[in-house]
Amino acid sequence: MRLGVLDVGSNTVHLLVVDAHRGAAPYPAYSHKTELRLAEHLDKDGKIQQSGSDGLVAFIKEATVLAEDKGCQSVLAFATSALREAPNGDKVLDRVRTETEIDLQVLSGEDEARLTFLAVRRWFGWSSGRLAVFDIGGGSLEIAAGSDEEPTVAVSVPLGAGRLTREGLTADPPDKDEVRALRKRVRMEMAAVAGGVLRAGRPQRAVATSKTFRSLARITGAAPSDQGPYVPRALDREDLDEWMPKLTKMSAAERAELPGVSAGRASQLLAGAIVADAVLDLFNLPALEVCPWALREGVILSRLDQLQPR
């Protein structure tokens, strides 16, 4: 069956059209996205401004037409932290429903972690044993661990790369004191959940998903995306240690010149690197393997499990 997956994130709004069948990997047939940066269209009270709402509705209208043109049987539409946390999120959802007939489902942070874990489990398989999965989004960091398809522990921490950049890094290039304060904040908040994750058992395989981790892996030497999804990629702790001092001295424009870093994401790369560095250190990991599947694939796989009997 052909499905459209509409992912409304803090940074990007993305329509992915896939051919999906139970027992087979979802095959991407078409992709259309825009960097709406919904989390930046907030007023002083954290409400989504008219500009953000207008942009979201306009893109979803466009995506709905594209999904129909591509022959999608249905569209799975979901939103993450930007709409989840906005005080007027329900009003924005109502407007989207009224003007586009798309019912956006807002995922909890724990659901994000759980569905991403499912995608990683299916990608690497049962031989991976106990998995620990880390996903840096725009607004939050999701962590999940376990030995089955349902993780034993799934948590969400407000340590997204976009959020941390807005709240902690005001200068470009960044101020040393701001970097130090942000590093302290990240490690304190992550340490508060790390114990609960580790008490459930040491992972046999530690995996990272998301654009932030992929970009960091690329600048530290991983294969470029044009070599395909099946080339093994990893973010090595020692390599990231070497890059951290360089990243803290670079401007956003200089980071945008690095391989695998888009201009739109360059400003957030340092905050993401600070989070990735804390993950590797606090969880005592030598490296993180990069998985090409993440939340969108988890949503697809979960829906297929519901629609088609085993």
Torsion angle in degrees (nearest 10) through CA of 244, 246, 249, 251: -100
Residues 183 and 35 in one domain: no
Residues 61 and 205 in one domain: no
Average pLDDT of span 224-247: 96
Within a domain: residue 302?
no
The enclosing domain of 83 has a CATH number of 3.30.420.40
For the chain, what is the mean pLDDT? 94
Within a domain: residue 230?
yes
Residue 307 has pLDDT above 80, yes or no: no
Residue 282 has pLDDT above 50, yes or no: yes
Within a domain: residue 36?
yes
Residues 73 and 122 in one domain: no
pLDDT at position 22 is 82
pLDDT at position 310 is 47
Residues 194 and 211 in one domain: yes
Within a domain: residue 303?
no
User: Residues 85-99, buried b or exposed e (16+ Cβ, 10 A)?
Assistant: bbebbeebbeebeee
Residues 101 and 11 in one domain: yes
User: Among 310, 308, 309, 301, which Cα is nearest to 76's?
Assistant: 301
Residues 91 and 121 in one domain: no
Residues 202 and 122 in one domain: yes
Residue 9 has pLDDT above 70, yes or no: yes
Residues 162 and 79 in one domain: no
Average pLDDT of span 112-121: 98
Domain that residue 251 falls in: 109-295
Residues 114 and 27 in one domain: no
Q: Which of 46, 78, 106 is the last residue of a domain?
A: 106
Residues 286 and 190 in one domain: yes
Average pLDDT of span 37-53: 92
Residues 101 and 172 in one domain: no
pLDDT at position 19 is 95
Percent of the chain surpassing pLDDT 90: 89
Within a domain: residue 173?
yes
**pLDDT, tens only, 87-112:** 999 999 999 999 999 999 999 999 99
User: Among 8, 3, 120, 115, which Cα is nearest to 53's?
Assistant: 8
pLDDT-based confidence at 264, cuts 50/70/90? confident
pLDDT-based confidence at 8, cuts 50/70/90? very high
Within a domain: residue 61?
yes
The enclosing domain of 176 has a CATH number of 3.30.420.150
Q: Which of 81, 106, 131 is the last residue of a domain?
A: 106
Task: Copy the structure tokens of residue 194.
Answer: 């790390």
Q: How far apart are CA 299 and CA 104, in angstroms?
A: 13
Q: How far apart are CA 169 and CA 67, in angstroms?
A: 38
Q: Which of 57, 81, 106 is the last residue of a domain?
A: 106
Residue 270 has pLDDT above 80, yes or no: yes
Average pLDDT of span 163-188: 96
**pLDDT, tens only, 129-172:** 999 999 999 999 999 999 999 999 999 999 999 999 999 999 99
Within a domain: residue 301?
no
pLDDT-based confidence at 23, cuts 50/70/90? confident
Percent of the chain surpassing pLDDT 70: 99
The partner residues of 31 in beta bridges, in order of sequence, read 16
Residues 85 and 149 in one domain: no
**Count of domains for the chain:** 2
pLDDT at position 309 is 53
Average pLDDT of span 103-127: 96
Within a domain: residue 310?
no
Q: How far apart are CA 309 and CA 145, in angstroms?
A: 26
pLDDT at position 156 is 97
Output the pTM of the full model. Answer: 0.95
